[in-house]
Structure 1
Amino acid sequence: MLDIKWIREAPEALDAALARRGAAPASAAILKIDEERRAHIAALQEAQEKRNAASKEIGKAKAAKDEALASSLMSAVAELKTFIQDGETRERELDEALTDALSTIPNVPLDDVPDGPDETANVEHHQFGEKRILDFEPKEHFDLGEAMGTMDFERAAKLSGSRFVILKGQLARMERALGQFMLDLHTGEHGYTEVSPPLLVRDEAMYGTGQLPKFAEDLFRTTDGRWLIPTAEVSLTNLVLGEIVEDKQLPMRLTALTPCFRSEAGSAGRDVRGMLRQHQFSKVELVSITAPETSLEEHERMLSCAEEVLKRLGLHYRVVTLCTGDMGFGSRKTYDIEVWLPGQKAYREISSCSVCGDFQARRMNTRVRNPDGKGTRFVHTLNGSGVAVGRALIAVMETYQNADGSISVPDALKPYMGGLERIG
């Protein structure tokens, strides 16, 4: 959520930022609600002052035995009381209207984010490694998995419908190995604290990280009103919901390996085959809570932590800076890591690392106490995939495939695979 004080002071800056994102201006509508709310609050304060003054005069009038004046003042106080009570209801309505309006406004991009309407305007930042050259026609992951009998979409569809998969045997073990390898790397070498968080959360948590109200259709909701997390970012970031943290606690670096659940409502027809876009998938999430002045440095650090996963696995990838039209709702700047898939002959996103500034902190009302102990300020939050386990499995399968349909095990995974050299 953006700061209403900033919008009052620089409405043209808000509209310019929205234009960069391809969105319509919003400052006039927001300021109209804000001005009505502020005028209403001022009227309530004035009425309260009049009521207090009249109440004092009633006592004086009674002391002077001026019953006519006392009666007149009591009638005025009663009217003011009714006005104030009704006005407090209206104040709550205006508060909610302003909050609702602000809740739908995306974050302001940083100045160095490239402008553009969609992914075609993303800018390559750098690459790692080389594309593996195979002396045979590479297969896609679903052809490899189905041929091995370890990847079953048909039975998954019988159980759950489309966009689900069943992994079996050595392939299921490799998926588990990938998740464990990532967790060990991030906790053992990168300084993240492992968390096993809830997978079901309340409205407040989804609102805090920006999934609600705008993206409700992309989520799964239970019959008791809770939500299945679309990413562990929701649970991890909201660990500080409504809190004031001490400066010495920051940066707070958290990681979790969890199932994630997405309805993919906005991606009908995309990536129907295979397990690139599933309703349920596993992901290792990275979240940082920082002081405002260190968040940009933390963003670069988070990216390097996610990259290290792919480097250790020997996977070729590139990093791109997302343009304004392709960034997420709560992000100020996002790096995507796109891994090369030989079977698809294409780069596909395997991690997004975003710095959100105080956008989520304002929604969560999470602050850090100033180092001098005087006053507080909103924390900054960051999140990134470290990385998507299913897509890492796809990349390993397609990169390390052999002509006979087997898959060599990357060196980094061998300790987690009981020393196996290949599967299939």
Structure 2
Amino acid sequence: MLDINLLRRDLDTVVAALNRRTPAQTFLDVPRYQALEAERKTLQTQTESLQAQRNSLSKQIGQLKAKKENTDALMAQVGEIGDGMRQCTERLDALQAELHSLLMHLPNLPDPSVPDGTDEHGNAELRRWNPDGQGPRAFDFPVRDHVALGEPLGLDFELGARLSGSRFTFLRGPVARLHRALAQFMLDMHTQKHGYTECYTPYIVNREVLEGTGQLPKFRDDMFWVSRGGDEQQAEQYLISTSEITLTNAVRGQILDAAELPLMFTAHSPCFRSEAGSAGRDTRGLIRQHQFDKVEMVQIVAPEHSMAALDAMTAHAEAVLQALELPYRVMVLCAGDMGFGAVRTHDLEVWVPAQNTYREISSCSNMGAFQARRMQARYKTAQGKNEFVHTLNGSGLAVGRTLVALLENHQQADGSIAIPAALRPWLGGVERIAAPGDPV
């Protein structure tokens, strides 16, 4: 959430920054905001004036009572002033609620370092990496996609659809083991090499938790809503779309000591997304699912360290891809392609041979104080002042998409999959996996 004082001090700058994302009126009805703000100022002035009048009359009443003189007329005036103050307060509360709702729908402002652009075509490449230092692997046999490679290994889209509908998948046998190994490998790398604390978090959260990280109110249709059988009074709850939600909200409502920062959390969890608006996109395979697994990274830092933390988090995600010998590139997203709460985002895009293109596998974002202000998450500075922390999150990595990339990039002519050396300890040392019954 943006600081309301920023709008009050420099509305033109806020509008200009919003315009970098998309036309500002998409987010902010400026005339409506100005009307609400003007009425708020008027009512606050009236309230302060009425309070001063009541204080003056109360003092006079005290003096008259000390002289044992009649105070009925003044008491009547105080009553009328009280009625006026109550009316002002009620209207002020309504105005504040409307202003708060307006703020909750405003996205974060892009950092000045973010390139201009309206969609992915405005993103800029920072760097790319290949195992051999040259380019993605050149195959001397026809490339198969992960569906053709995975089905003999236990990737079952038909059963997933029978059980739960489209965009759900059932894994069994070698591919299920590979999926598990990838998640454990990522967790161990982030905890043992990168300094994150492993967490296990709830998969169901309350509405206010999603408001804290910015999924609500704007993205309600992208969430899966849940209810408890027979409990009609249950609070509004949702399945998490990422463990960023729970990890970041771990500091909700807290005032941290500066010495505690940075906090670095990681978790492996399923993610549930309705994929509203994605009809017809990536209908084949694992790229876009209603349920998928992800290893998430979250950092809670002091404001002056957040951009350096973004670079470090990006490097942590890159280290996973490098260890798995997967070609990728790093993109900085343009203003129009960034997520709702980000001030700057780095996307990692892995090479997918069957599609002959790069696809997103991790998104690392600096959210500034945007989420912290919504969560009221602060820290005490060395000067004893309470300030909002900065929050960051990133995929380290999306497990299903990593499985896709590993199957396709390490496929062999016979349909087996070569296992990168770094991953083998999590698979009992095997160097290659194949369909049950096939020679390895």
Write out per-residue CA displacement over residues 249-304 of structure 1, whole angstroms, 9 at most, x where no aligned residue: 11111111111111100212111111111111100111111101111111100000
Question: Aligned to 1:125, what secondary structure does the other structure show?
Answer: strand
* Distance in 1 of aligned mates of 2:41 and 2:203: 40
Aligned to 1:78: 79
Deviation at 1:206, TM superposition (A): 0.4
Q: Which amino acid aligns with 1:15?
A: V
Aligned equivalent of 1:15: 15
How far the C-alpha of 1:81 sits from its partner, in A, is: 1.8
Matched residue SS, 1:142: helix
Letter aligned with residue 217 of structure 2: P
- Kept in 2, the 8 Å contact 1:30–1:102? The answer is no
Once the two structures are overlaid, the 10-residue window that deviates more, 331-340 or 46-55, is 46-55
Partner Cα distance (1:153, 1:280) in 2: 13
- After TM superposition, give the deviation of residue 172 of structure 1 in Å: 0.4
Q: Which has the higher mean CA deviation after the structures are superposed, 180-189 or 50-59? A: 50-59
Deviation of the 1:203 alpha carbon: 1.3
**Could you report, residue by residue, the CA deviation over 1:69-128 in whole angstroms, capped at 9, with x for unpaired residues?**
x22111111112222223222222111111111111111111121111101111111100
Q: Take 1:123 and 1:370, find their aligned partners in 2: how far apart are those partners?
A: 36
CA displacement 1:149-192 (0-9 Å, x = unmatched): 50111111111111100011010010000000000000001011
Out of 188, 191, 199, the residue aligned to residue 187 of structure 1 is 191
Q: 1:381 aligns to what? A: 391
Alignment of 1:305 with 2:305, yes or no, is no
> Please, which of 170, 176, 185 is the counterpart of residue 174 of structure 2?
170
CA contact (8 A) 2:16 2:24 kept: no
Give the structure 2 partner of residue 43 of structure 1: 46
In 2: Cα distance, 1:276 partner to 1:236 partner: 24
2:437 aligned partner: none
Given that 1:8 and 1:31 are in contact with CA atoms closer than 8 Å, whether structure 2 keeps it comes out as no
Output the amino acid matched with 2:334: C
Q: Secondary structure at the match of 2:335?
A: coil
**How far apart are the structure 2 equivalents of 1:29 and 1:365?**
27
Matches within 5 A, 1:214-229: 214-223=218-227, 224=234, 225-229=236-240
Alignment partner of 1:410 is 2:414: no
Which residue pairs with 1:248 in the alignment?
259
In 2, the alpha carbon distance for the partners of 1:356 and 1:268 equals 29
CA distance in 1, matches of 2:330, 2:12: 32
- The 5-angstrom pairing of residues 342-381 of structure 1 reads 342-372=353-383, 374-381=384-391
- CA contact under 8 A between 1:370 and 1:376: conserved in structure 2? yes
Cα distance in 1, alignment partners of residues 33 and 370 from structure 2? 17
AA of the residue aligned to 1:323:
C
Aligned residue number for residue 144 of structure 1: 149
Partner-residue secondary structure (3-state), 1:343: helix
Instruction: Between 398-407 and 276-285, report the one with greater CA deviation.
Output: 398-407
1:86-105 → structure 2 map (5 Å cutoff) = 86-105=87-106
Deviations, residues 293-323 of structure 1 (Å, cap 9, x unaligned): 1111111000000000000000000111111
Cα distance between partner residues in 2 of 1:375 and 1:128: 43
1:32 correspondence with 2:43: no
- Pairwise CA RMSD: 1.4
**Secondary structure of the structure 2 residue equivalent to 1:76:** helix
Are residue 60 (structure 1) and residue 71 (structure 2) matched? no
Matched, 1:132 2:133: no
Asked whether the equivalents of residues 259 and 283 of structure 1 are also in contact (C-alpha less than 8 Å), the reply is yes
1:302 and 1:353 in contact (8 A); partners too: yes
Alignment partner, residue 325 of structure 1: 336
How far has the Cα of 1:28 moved from its partner? 4.5
Could you tell me which amino acid in structure 1 is paired with residue 63 of structure 2? K
Secondary structure at 2:354 match in 1: coil
Structure 2 segments unaligned to the other structure (5+ residues)? 228-233, 435-440
Tell me the distance in 2 between the aligned counterparts of 1:115 and 1:59. 65
Find the partner of 2:305 among 279, 294, 309. 294
Which region of structure 1 is more displaced relative to structure 2, 2-11 or 153-162?
2-11
The structural deviation recorded for 1:63 is 4.1
Q: Distance in 1 between matches of 2:34 and 2:339?
A: 25
User: What is the aligned partner in structure 1 of residue 279 from structure 2?
Assistant: 268
Aligned residues with identical type, % of pairs: 49
- Aligned length, in residue pairs: 420
More moved, 27-36 vs 183-192: 27-36
Letter in 1 for 2:157: F
CA distance in 1, matches of 2:260, 2:409: 41
Q: 2:299 corresponds to which letter in structure 1?
A: S
Q: CA separation in 2, counterparts of 1:72 and 1:259? A: 69
After superposing the two structures, state which structure 1 stretch, 133-142 or 180-189, moved more. Answer: 133-142
Q: Quick check: 36-45 or 361-370, which moved more?
A: 36-45
Partners of 1:191 and 1:29 in 2: CA distance: 47
Tell me the distance in 2 between the aligned counterparts of 1:413 and 1:37: 60
Q: Could you tell me how far apart the structure 1 residues matched to 2:141 and 2:405 are? A: 17
Tell me if structure 1 keeps the 8 A contact 2:153–2:174: no
Cα deviation, residue 65, structure 1: 4.6
Instruction: Work out the CA distance in 2 between the residues paired with 1:392 and 1:297.
Output: 26
The CA deviation string for residues 4-38 of structure 1, in whole angstroms up to 9 with x for no partner, is 22222221111111111113243543343233223
Q: Match of 1:347, SS?
A: strand
- The farther-off stretch of 296-305 and 56-65 is 56-65
**2:162 aligned partner:** 158
TM-score (ref. length: structure 1): 0.96
What is the TM-score when the length of structure 2 is the normalising length?
Answer: 0.93
The separation in 1 between residues aligned to 2:117 and 2:211, in whole angstroms, is 27
